[in-house]
């Protein structure tokens, strides 16, 4: 999966670091991430490369360190003219794994910084805390921390078949599993039951936790579960959420699913009989 980069690791401890020549600089725009082609891969610009190109961002903040690379996030909203911006999912697919993981995580932070420039209580400008990763209103005392959306991925099995889906109205058109965000007042287990019932009209039993994944694409923490159908296997499709839902045996699935995501690993595990 995306985050499985051992022996490298992502260190997200908060620090007030000064930017330096070798630092990776991430700028996010509506068109994607500022990117540089490097052979068959895309990557971030280093701070030195930006300086040499006379590109100067007004404000950059330290995000995290990954594989000994310091990653800084530009808060500038203006795109750099005549430079390439690559959509996030395309960037992740065309970059090496460490860079892809950095892109997902940096995007998550960049979106938070963009949305929370002003206090939602009094409207004053937020200031960056110097002691923790937080935005502080010095007028009313409101503090905002990075938003993380909890979501579930549910692999529903019926004997030797797996329930696969495809989203409706989304750019991503490959096979997926039933998924959705956890709602207020429910447990993660209840969210699994509700999402399966809402999207495909099926009841489930014997829910088993598998693994989690940070997924900056949707600013989420994903939690994966395997489960079994409970009773009728007939699908009642929620056409607003899904374009397709069908039962497939392992040898019918093919390879039309992502390889860097929790969803993809769970599908592959089913194909391999290892779930």
Q: What is the pLDDT of residue 169?
A: 77
What pLDDT shows up at residue 258?
A: 87
Taking the C-alpha atoms of residue 165 and residue 159, their distance in angstroms, rounded to an integer, is 18
Please check whether residue 202 is in contact with residue 229, taking contact to mean a CB–CB distance below 8 angstroms. yes
Q: Does residue 178 sit in the same domain as residue 244?
A: yes
Residue 199's CATH number: 3.90.79.10
Task: Tell me the torsion sign for CA atoms 212, 229, 171, 111.
Answer: negative
The reply to whether 223 and 264 lie within a common domain is yes
* pLDDT score at 203: 98
Segment 142-178, tens digit of pLDDT: 999 999 999 999 999 999 999 999 998 777 778 999 9
The answer to whether residue 229 is domain-embedded is yes
95 and 32 co-located in one domain: yes
230 in the same domain as 246? yes
Shared domain for 137 and 235, answered yes or no, is no
Indicate whether 74 belongs to any domain.
Answer: yes
pLDDT tens digits, one per residue of 56-70: 999 999 999 999 999
What is the CB-side half-sphere exposure of residue 229 using CA atoms within 13 A?
A: 17
In a domain, 2, yes or no: no
Same domain, yes or no, for 141 and 179? no
Residue 110 inside a domain? The answer is yes
Shared-domain flag, residues 84 and 198:
no
Q: How far is CA 150 from CA 52, 145, 219, in A?
A: 41, 15, 9
215: exposed, middle or buried (Cβ count in 10 Å: 0-12, 13-18, 19+) = buried
Residue 156 lies in a domain: yes
Cα distances (Å, whole numbers) of residue 136 to 15, 17, 50: 16, 19, 30
pLDDT in tens, 224-257: 999 999 999 999 999 998 999 999 999 999 888 9
Same domain, 209 and 227: yes
Same domain, 128 and 69: no
Give the chain's domain count: 3
- How high does pLDDT run on average in the chain? 95
In a domain, 3, yes or no: no
Question: Is there a single domain that holds both residue 174 and residue 243?
Answer: yes
Q: Where does the pLDDT of residue 77 fall: very low under 50, low under 70, confident under 90, or very high at 90 and above?
A: confident
Per-residue confidence (pLDDT) for residue 260, from 0 to 100: 87
| Residue 5, in any domain of the structure | no
- Residue 163 sits in the same domain as residue 256: yes
- Domain span holding position 141: 116-147
């Amino acid at each position: 999966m995306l985050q499985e980069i051992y022996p490298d690791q992502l260190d997200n401890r908060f620090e007030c670091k000064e930017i330096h020549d070798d630092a990776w600089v991430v700028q996010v725009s509506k068109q994607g991430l500022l990117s540089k082609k490097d052979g068959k891969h895309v990557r971030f610009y280093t701070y030195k490369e930006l300086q040499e190109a006379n590109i100067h961002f007004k404000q950059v903040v330290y995000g995290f360190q990954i594989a000994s690379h310091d990653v800084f996030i530009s808060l500038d909203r203006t795109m750099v003219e005549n430079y390439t911006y690559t959509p996030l999912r395309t960037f992740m697919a065309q970059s090496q794994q460490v860079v892809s993981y950095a892109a997902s995580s940096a995007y998550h932070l960049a979106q938070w910084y963009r949305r929370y420039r002003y206090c939602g209580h009094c409207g004053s400008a937020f200031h960056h805390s110097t002691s923790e990763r937080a935005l502080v209103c010095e007028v009313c005392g409101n503090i905002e921390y990075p938003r993380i959306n909890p979501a579930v991925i549910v692999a529903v099995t019926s004997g030797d078949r797996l329930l696969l889906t495809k989203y409706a109205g989304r750019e991503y058109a490959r096979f997926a599993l039933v998924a959705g965000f956890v709602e207020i007042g429910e447990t993660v287990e209840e969210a699994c039951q509700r999402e399966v019932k809402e999207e495909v009209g099926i009841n489930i039993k014997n829910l088993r936790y598998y693994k989690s994944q940070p997924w900056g694409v949707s600013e989420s923490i994903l939690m994966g579960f395997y489960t079994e159908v409970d009773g009728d296997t007939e699908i009642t499709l929620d056409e607003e959420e899904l374009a397709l839902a069908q039962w497939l045996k392992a040898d019918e699935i093919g390879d039309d699913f992502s390889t860097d995501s929790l969803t993809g690993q769970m599908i592959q595990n089913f194909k391999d009989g290892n779930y």
